[in-house]
Amino acid sequence: MFFSPRRLGRFDVLLPMSLFSEVPSLREKTLKVGYLARVLATFRVSHVVFYADDPDSPDLRNVSFLREVLEYLCTAPYLRRRLYPIKPRLRYAGLLPPLNIPTHPEGVGDEEHYREGLVIAGGEVSVIEAGLGRPLRVGRRYAGGRRVILKVRRRGGRVVFKVVPYDRAGVYYGYRVVVTRRGLGEAVERYSLRIAASRVGDAVYDVEQSLREGLRGSGRTCVAFGSAERGIEDMLGVDGMRRVFSMVVNTIPNQGVRTVRTEEALAYTLAILNMLNPG
């Protein structure tokens, strides 16, 4: 059984609503979101939060697309037909690689494993679709449409399972997508450790120890990124950025290219933070 533990504390990524809005092709844009999803899942991000980088004119159409593709990919493949009808903007979703997170098993097998399920009928006996050939029945009332985590194994030719609460599963079950119309300064207020990724920040090797200690001591951490057009320092000003964030870090000191794309900065930054605190 492939198992990857859920992080001990909340670990969120904040991205601008306008992410990838400059990409004209639906195919290319879909592929970029697929890459984004893989990075988020690889480093066990809890929530990806899209903030309004232009609060006066939030790009709601663009962020709606980002949200749908990200949530589509974070849904177990055997549940997608039930939850996502055929629509033009998901035309290229079939080209995207699967996340292969622990709750998206490739097959049934005999090993005990976790998998995502969908309640397709509620009542005194709830019916759950979990990609096991036929729906499962459980003598407990669940609301129709609710997603659940199941712990499953085969015993004597039959499937034995139990529903496990999300907060007790201990397994990484993917990210959740949140959209807020708040600007970046407001969106980070509830976090105990607020990290800004910025080219004008402190070089990561100069703040490695304080960054490591901050990550280990925080139960609610966020890592924020700017947009293609405006970095965080442009949105908040350098002084404002340092007031809002606990740490401002340049995770790519002496970069060899003129500009680093947001999705690239995300991958590089999360890899470093995961090395400093893999928990």
d(CA 118, CA 131): 10
CA 109 to chain centre: 27
Asked if 116 and 75 count as a contact pair (C-beta separation under 8 A), the reply is yes
Q: What percent of the chain has pLDDT over 70?
A: 99
pTM value? Answer: 0.95
Per-residue pLDDT at 21: 96
Please list the residues that pair with 268 across neighbouring strands. none
Per-residue pLDDT at 155: 82
pLDDT tops 90 at residue 234: yes
Q: In the chain, at which residue ranges do the beta strands (DSSP E only) sit?
A: 10-16, 47-51, 113-121, 126-129, 136-138, 147-155, 158-164, 176-179, 193-203, 220-224, 247-250
Sheet with 176-179, edge to edge strand ranges: 176-179, 47-51, 10-16, 220-224, 193-203, 247-250
pLDDT tops 90 at residue 2: no
How many residues does the structure list for the chain?
Answer: 279
Give the pLDDT band of residue 136 (cuts 50, 70, 90).
Answer: very high
pLDDT tops 80 at residue 228: no
pLDDT tops 80 at residue 226: yes
Reported as a single tens digit per residue, the pLDDT across 4-55 is 999 999 999 999 999 999 999 999 999 999 999 999 999 999 999 999 999 9
Per-residue pLDDT at 190: 95
Reported as a single tens digit per residue, the pLDDT across 79-120 is 999 999 999 999 999 999 999 999 999 877 768 899 999 999
Pairing mode, if any, of strands 147-155 and 113-121? antiparallel
Amino acid at 57: S
- 3-class state of residue 140 by DSSP: coil
Q: What's the sign of the alpha-carbon dihedral 109, 149, 84, 121?
A: positive
End-to-end CA distance of the chain: 20
Asked if 93 and 65 count as a contact pair (C-beta separation under 8 A), the reply is no
Sheet with 158-164, edge to edge strand ranges: 136-138, 126-129, 113-121, 147-155, 158-164
Asked if 164 and 142 count as a contact pair (C-beta separation under 8 A), the reply is no
Of 146, 236, 132, 234, residue with least CA distance to 187: 236
